[in-house]
Amino acid sequence: EVTPPAIKYVYADEIFVIPIKLTNHTRRLVSYYFFGHPSFVLPTPRFGFINSAETVEVRLETIRYDADGAGRSEKLHLRWRD
């Protein structure tokens, strides 16, 4: 289960796909928006916008869906700052 801090600024061309565990048995991909642009085109709903956060760097386990719907697990480096 991942509850990421809010992201205010990101570095150019970085893409963020963050898995949110909605229930004990359901996991959905969330495509966040940065500066009005979708971070990914996904076959899942997109949720909300992101606000300010403290300076931090963290690596989170992420899951990205390919066109055929197969999940692929990968590490993705998130960076944000005030």
Give mean pLDDT, residues 45-52: 34
Name the nearest CA neighbour of 46 among 76, 10, 16: 16
Residue where the block lists tokens 């969330």: 30
Q: What is the pLDDT of residue 1?
A: 43
Specify the higher pLDDT residue, 29 or 11.
11
Backbone φ, ψ for residue 54 (5° rounding): -75, 165
43 token code pair: 């076959």
Kindly list the distances between the CA atom of residue 60 and the CA atoms of 4, 20, 43, 74, in Å, as whole numbers in the listed order.
Answer: 9, 11, 21, 9
Give the confidence band of 6 by pLDDT, cuts at 50, 70, 90: very low
Q: What is the pLDDT of residue 76?
A: 39
